[in-house]
Amino acid sequence: MSTDRLNRRALFIVITDYPGGAERVTSSLANELASRPGWQVELMIVCSRLPDSFSANNVSPQVRIRYGPFRRWYPSFLLLPLRLLFRRYDLVFATHVYVNALVSTLRDLGLLRIQRLVTRESTSVFDRFRGIKRRVFALLYRRYGAEDLLIAQSSYMEGHVAPRLPARSRAHLRTLPNPVSLEAIEAARAATLDQATSNTLAGEANILFCGRLIEVKRPALALESFRLLSAALPTATLIFMGSGPLETDVREQARRAGLSERVRFLGQRADPYSVMAACHYGLLTSAHEGFPNVVLEMMACGIRKIVVTPCAGDLDALTGVAVTRTHDATEIASTLQSAVESGEDCRDSYAAVVRARSAGRFIDEMLPFPAV
């Protein structure tokens, strides 16, 4: 394929239409590239469109979106090779281990023609998974190697994944800090919240937990930490934004603790940045993360202070973010209480951090194509 034609074709691939970290990063990069002259950009979603579609609400009209056939990712993934066979792209960007291994294999076999293949690690899988899943991932990493650039989100992740990679992949491995689409966030956070949500967020000290309500995110730990500080901060409210299989259990935990009126569940939202902009404090209690991009998004939305558990590498490099030493609820509660009672406001520091992580800068780092 020619590198000097004016209409280069790019493909970005994600698993779901849910607003997870990988999906938000990928959509911001697709939007950025589509805004540049000479690029035709396509976003391929492995699964089907959700009723409250994140992509439909957040992806630029300049990006063509293609959805998969099924809501569940596994049967949709089995059909993904048929959607890719014999296509030609100047750039392909993928960010999940399953997709990375598949695209690398198809390129090696000459069944998918790509001028430049960029893959990104979405999590530190050998910290997060055990048993059969761990062995499956080890096999999938053996299929890596055809990429031109393999991106780790942190220096820890780079060291974590390097021993599992083929030699030719290790030569392409590089740490690139996650980007933030400041323009998209600024536009989205300015949107008016519905009255019911505005009323829910009207408290003096809203603490926001944003993420899927699944075990690795440890929403029960967030609630227990809030219970421990609830007496000391009687006007504080804990906000859960996200959905998942643990929601019923966490609601029951809040009821048993007598906190039902101070713990609110907003569910999955198509307007997460507007909610973030209306909250005061951020809380992340995950066991493991690749790198929690939600922390950067909270920074960009004007959260005053963010408290996180030591769930990923390079978190201590984020100025103003309080990283606990452990995952102990007492320590998390104490750190939150100090943040609220001190009145510390890190918004200026946070703004400086996210300005250095623009989607445009990330694209420039991963694309050594000549200018058109």
197-229 CB burial, b ≥16 within 10 A, e <16 = beebbebebbbbbbbbbeeebbbbbbbbbbbbb
Q: What is the average pLDDT across 298-303?
A: 94
Dihedral angle over CA of 347, 352, 356, 359, nearest 10: 30
- Both tokens of residue 15? 């698993």
CA separation for the pair 37, 159 (Å, rounded): 36
* pLDDT tens string 189-215: 777 888 989 888 987 899 999 999 999
CA separation for the pair 53, 328 (Å, rounded): 36
Three-state DSSP state, 124? coil
Query: Which helix (H) or strand (E) covers residue 151, if one does?
Result: strand 149-152
Comparing 311 with 5, which gets the higher pLDDT?
Answer: 311
Residue 180's DSSP bridge partners are: 358
Q: Please give the DSSP secondary-structure letter assigned to residue 82.
A: H
CA separation for the pair 221, 74 (Å, rounded): 30
How much of the chain, in percent, has pLDDT values that exceed 90? 72
Q: What is the average pLDDT across 78-86?
A: 95
Q: Side chain identity at 147, as an amino acid letter? A: E
* pLDDT tens string 124-177: 878 777 889 889 999 999 999 999 999 999 898 999 899 999 999 999 999 998
Which residues fall within 8 angstroms of residue 42, CB to CB, at 6 or more apart? 9, 10, 11, 12, 63, 64, 65, 66
Q: Please give the DSSP secondary-structure letter assigned to residue 13.
A: E
Domains in the chain, CATH or no CATH each: 8-179+357-366 (3.40.50.2000), 187-355 (3.40.50.2000)
- Both tokens of residue 117? 């293949």
Q: What is the average pLDDT across 52-78?
A: 91
Whether the model clears a pTM of 0.85, i.e. scores above it, the answer is no
